[in-house]
């Protein structure tokens, strides 16, 4: 591909007052209005005394500006300026400057972040009522919980401290902030964020997990999840308080257990003929024997966990073992064991496959890191807490827009949705005072864009905030 014209240095001019670079924000923010996002922000965000006199004024439109900027790809406060170009101020009302929304964010405290967390949960329920965001929620729902460590730099970040994280499979100590998140998904839908809470980098992964799970289960029920709920988590959450929270909420659990002496003894007691190969999706079948070519095997036993507490629990201990790659030439196989504790009634191999799909929460983390959580933009912990929650709201809103667009957009990455749907250039005209967006001819994803447009702008009756 080559340039077909000979340009001069003065051939590029920024002078078009009617051109916009993210026309897809029109149906996306219309969907936000129809699901009452502005109303929820106005009702729930109440900021009293402030450091700056005008800092708490009009929090709802300011937070809506942040969420819209995140949907368009903003990953810092300064990037909110992406909403202030060309014809954007004609398309949208109450578009605030980065300095203004930054002042609001710096007024946030722990209590204000909890208010915004309430908006996240209720808005997710409204999205699920408006869009089939959790298809198949009447049959099976999965709630996953995990934390990540976002690195920060400099000495001015409140709450930043050294915590453990994995890089290339190795444990390292890194300075950062640690969001704890819960997601809701079904076998037929991509995960959405039920709750997210920012913590100091040195905070243990499991701190506050029971309360977060209780809120996530309530949010799932409010979002229309009538089927059984399965909570999945790794070893940081395999404790009695998490199991108790699951049972109080009427959910089942599938949690990795730390290999203590008692767990090791239970694994060693499993009979040799109890192990069976697990048929992972994508495994290769031997053409001669018909057996699955895989080193992984699974078995189960009954195990009573948390015997040192007042409420010991007896359930299934399912163990997956794989050959240790460090000993390829050993005379006898050397196995590595991976136990998890569950009260599901699935066959042992299906229970293992279902549990391993807990890694779907990493796709949400990847989306957030590739978008608004590329940075922690402020030096104040409260501002970063609000930023993280706005990122979760923007993620769910973008996911709902992808479902309405149809096709493979329902499970597409956030970057894909921004490139194909949201960041679509258009020219705004007003023939006979009727606004019209002129989009590029031969746009590869025209049909999906028009489908989203008809499902939002043409939605009748529109539920305006």
Q: Note the residue count of the chain.
A: 465
Q: Which residue has the higher pLDDT, 464 or 330?
A: 330
Domain segments of the chain: what residues? 13-131+379-465
Residue 170's contacts (CB-CB under 8 Å, 6 or more residues apart) are none
pLDDT in tens, 417-462: 999 999 999 999 988 888 899 999 999 999 999 999 999 998 765 4
The model's pTM: 0.93
Percent of residues, the chain, with pLDDT higher than 90: 76
Residue 156, pLDDT score: 83
Residue 293, pLDDT score: 63
Residue 421's contacts (CB-CB under 8 Å, 6 or more residues apart) are 24, 28, 401, 402, 405, 409, 445, 448, 449, 452
Strands 229-233 and 141-147: parallel
SS3 label, residue 138: coil
> In degrees rounded to 5, what are phi and psi of residue 241?
-70, -35
* Mean residue pLDDT across the chain: 91
Residue 316, pLDDT score: 96
Residue 253, pLDDT score: 97
Residue 49, pLDDT score: 66
d(CA 412, CA 185): 14
Give the lowest-confidence range in 46-55, 165-174, 206-215, 430-439. Answer: 46-55
Residue 296, pLDDT score: 85
The DSSP code for 439 is: P
Q: Which residue has the higher pLDDT, 123 or 296?
A: 123
pLDDT in tens, 124-183: 999 999 999 999 999 999 999 999 999 998 788 899 999 888 777 778 889 999 999 999
Residue 334, pLDDT score: 81
**Other beta carbons less than 10 A from residue 295's beta carbon:** 12
d(CA 262, CA 9): 74
Quick one: pLDDT band at residue 465, thresholds 50, 70, 90? very low
Percent of residues, the chain, with pLDDT higher than 70: 95
Q: pLDDT at residue 120 above 50?
A: yes
Quick one: pLDDT band at residue 464, thresholds 50, 70, 90? very low
Query: What burial class does residue 260 get, using C-beta atoms within 10 Å of its C-beta: 0-12 exposed, 13-18 middle, 19+ buried?
Result: exposed
Ramachandran quadrant class, 259 (left: phi over 0; alpha: psi -120 to 50; beta: rest) = beta
Residue 48, pLDDT score: 78
> In degrees rounded to 5, what are phi and psi of residue 323?
-70, 135
d(CA 163, CA 17): 48
């Amino acid at each position: 591909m080559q340039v077909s014209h000979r340009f001069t240095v003065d051939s590029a001019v920024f002078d078009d007052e009617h051109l916009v670079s993210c026309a897809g924000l029109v149906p996306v923010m219309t969907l936000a209005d129809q699901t009452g996002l502005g109303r929820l922000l106005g009702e729930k965000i109440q900021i009293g005394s402030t450091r700056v006199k005008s800092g708490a004024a009009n929090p709802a439109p300011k937070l809506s500006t942040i969420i819209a900027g995140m949907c368009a790809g903003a990953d810092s406060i300064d990037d909110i300026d992406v909403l202030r170009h060309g014809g954007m101020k004609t398309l949208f009302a109450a578009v605030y400057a980065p300095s203004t929304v930054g002042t609001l964010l710096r007024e946030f405290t722990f209590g204000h972040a909890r208010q915004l967390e309430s908006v996240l949960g209720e808005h997710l329920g409204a999205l699920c009522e408006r869009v089939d965001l959790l298809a198949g929620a009447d049959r099976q729902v999965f709630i996953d919980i995990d934390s990540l460590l976002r690195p920060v730099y400099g000495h001015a970040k409140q709450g930043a401290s050294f915590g453990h994280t994995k890089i290339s499979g190795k444990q390292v100590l890194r300075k950062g902030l640690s969001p704890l998140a819960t997601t809701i998904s079904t076998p037929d839908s991509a995960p959405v964020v039920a709750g997210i809470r920012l913590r100091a980098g040195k905070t243990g992964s499991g701190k506050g997990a029971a309360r977060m799970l209780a809120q996530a289960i309530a949010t799932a029920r409010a979002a229309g999840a009538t089927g059984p709920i399965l909570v999945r988590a790794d070893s940081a959450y395999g404790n009695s308080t998490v199991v108790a929270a699951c049972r109080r909420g009427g959910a089942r659990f599938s949690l990795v257990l730390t290999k203590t002496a008692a767990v090791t003894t239970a694994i060693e007691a499993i009979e040799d003929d109890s192990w069976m190969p697990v048929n992972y999706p994508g495994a290769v079948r031997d053409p001669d024997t018909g057996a699955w070519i895989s080193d992984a095997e699974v078995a189960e036993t009954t195990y009573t966990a948390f015997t040192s507490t007042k409420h010991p629990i007896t359930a299934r201990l399912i163990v997956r073992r794989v050959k240790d790659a460090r000993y390829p030439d050993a005379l006898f196989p050397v196995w590595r064991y991976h136990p998890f504790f569950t009260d599901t009634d699935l066959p042992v191999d299906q229970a293992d496959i279902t549990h391993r799909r807990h890694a779907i929460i990493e796709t949400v983390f990847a989306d957030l890191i590739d978008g608004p959580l590329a940075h922690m933009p402020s030096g104040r912990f409260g501002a970063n807490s609000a930023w993280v929650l706005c990122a979760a709201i923007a993620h769910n809103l973008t996911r709902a827009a992808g479902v309405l667009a149809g096709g493979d957009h329902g499970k597409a990455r956030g970057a894909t949705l921004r490139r194909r749907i949201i960041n679509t250039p258009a020219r705004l005209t007003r023939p006979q005072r009727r606004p019209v967006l002129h989009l590029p001819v031969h746009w590869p994803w025209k049909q999906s864009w028009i489908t989203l447009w008809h499902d939002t702008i043409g939605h009748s009756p529109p539920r305006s905030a």
